Amino acid sequence: MTIARRDLFRMGGLAAAGLAAPGLLAACASTSSPASGEKAAAALRVSLASDATTLDPQKQGDLSSMNVLINVFDTITVRDTDDKLVGGLAERWESVDPRTWRFHLRQGVTFHNGEPCDAAAVAYSIERLIDPATRSPIVELRLVTKAKVVDDRTVDLITKEPDPILPAKLSLFGGVVVPPKYIKEKGEQAFAEHPVGTGPFTFESWQRDSQITLKANPGYWNGKPAVEQLTFRVMPDPSSSLAALQSGEVDVVTGLTPDAADQLGDAPGFKVVTAPGVRTFFVSLDTTEGPLKDKRVRQALNHALDVPTLIKSVLNGAAERTPTLIPRQAFGFDPAIQPFAHDLAKAKSLLAEAGQSGGFSLKMSASTADKDIAQAISGQLAAVGVKAEVSLLDPATFKGRLVSDNKKALGAMYYVGNSGWTMDASSNLQSFVRHDRRQSRWDNSRADELIDKEEQSVDPETRRKAFTELQNLLIDEAPFLYLYQVSILYAVSDKVRWKTNANGTLAMASAKLA
């Protein structure tokens, strides 16, 4: 498939449009209050491709829900707009011993209902999250065994084994702090229907599958937001969302694909903004049987792919190549690791060495949302005699099979994306590499040792060396087809002033309407 490339990225840029950062940008020195001479805008309207599943932040694990909730709740740490880990509700933290992280909290922060956000509230939130009775889908804190109050502004998180990136895991899903008194008095159902947090916006209303309305929190500890009202409108159809943008019904259209972004054309008063993202895409290979058991075959398939052409023709340039599974912004990424070269002659030679000179056939599963790229990959593999028949599944079915205990549920090959929002290479590797993990289909003892080393060591240099060796091993063994990390695309009105980071969540505390 070929999509004509237009002047998509001349229409905007990170500096020109500025998109909003995830979380509350808690450690920014300046507040989000309007600058001198600016008036607070009446409302900011943002489109979402899908509705939240619940407004209880500890009983959801999807970005659609988190994009809303990150405006109502604060997290213990935060990623700033430069992708650095900075303080949120915690001003600072340190490792007391290999299994204890200590967090020092901000003074004077209160929930929207007036109850204090202190160490007891943080400890309650962590204990609630890890309690099996909560049935939380959030897995990042699986190593935490206890939260211990040291004093009113200090809390220790104790783990069953060392977790070197625990502070980073508290910057989004795992780090939300909830109000103990409110939940105990009102009940969990009431909390899920009318959430109370410490964040820059307070909850107003939720019309399911239609819109969620929030109101600026005048007492927000980091300064009242510049917009009085924040409305998230559920608009699954990209064309309808863009039409609403042009008619003035919404100010920001999120979650755009390159195809959808291209529809806006050169319409005056609007722009498409692109920002680097950390969601990395690849093809998982079942290395346990069949032709893919031979690493020469797996290497051949990587050489058969022309990834730059895939990025240019199918994604309109809205991606950046990655040598392995790790995005460039993540700790542990080694820029010295080179990706596979597109070399059809080399690919055919490797297939011949492996006894597959006549090619072979297998199936490649993908979500219907990824139809175009899956078919393009299949077409490139056909050039070396490998017939990868694309099997398309609706997104819900694809996800269900992906997270099931059956590692063969998606066949010999499947196209998938993985977002390492902790900005640490461990997040990109944790489910797919070590042989006993849920999505792993590769058994390599040295890879297992390296995963253990980077997951359990608190020494950054030890971890960095483990990541480098692991990336070299991933190139040599090629248990995946390595592709790219996609850019974040938004369509915005020219009056919007907003900046994102690589996580791309929709925190709007600093957003302004000119």
Kind and range of the H or E run holding 367: strand 360-367
3-state secondary structure 116-138: ECCHHHHHHHHHHHHCHHHCCCC
- Helical segments of 354-405, H only: 371-382, 395-402
Kind and range of the H or E run holding 303: helix 295-304
Q: Render each residue's pLDDT in the chain as its tens digit; 514 residues.
A: 333 333 322 222 222 223 233 332 233 323 334 443 444 458 999 999 889 999 999 999 888 899 999 999 999 999 887 788 999 999 999 999 999 999 999 999 999 999 999 999 999 999 999 999 999 999 889 999 999 999 999 999 999 999 999 999 999 999 999 999 999 999 999 999 999 999 999 999 999 999 999 999 999 999 999 999 999 999 988 888 999 999 999 999 988 878 787 777 677 888 888 888 899 999 999 999 999 999 999 999 999 999 999 999 999 999 999 999 999 999 999 999 999 999 999 999 999 999 999 999 999 999 998 999 999 999 999 999 999 999 999 988 998 899 888 999 999 999 999 888 899 999 899 899 999 998 999 999 999 999 999 998 989 999 999 999 999 999 999 999 999 999 988 899 999 998 777 788 899 999 998 8
All domains in the chain, ordered by first residue: 15-26+41-274+489-513 (3.40.190.10), 279-486 (3.10.105.10)
Kind and range of the H or E run holding 393: strand 386-393
**For the whole model, what pTM was predicted?**
0.82
Residues near 65 by beta carbon (within 8 Å), at least 6 away in sequence: 52, 53, 54, 55, 57
Burial 156-175 (b: 16+ CB within 10 A, else e): bbbbeebbbbbbbbbbbbbb
- Helical segments of 173-237, H only: 180-186, 188-193
Q: Crossing angle, helix 445-456 and helix 460-477, to 10 degrees?
A: 160
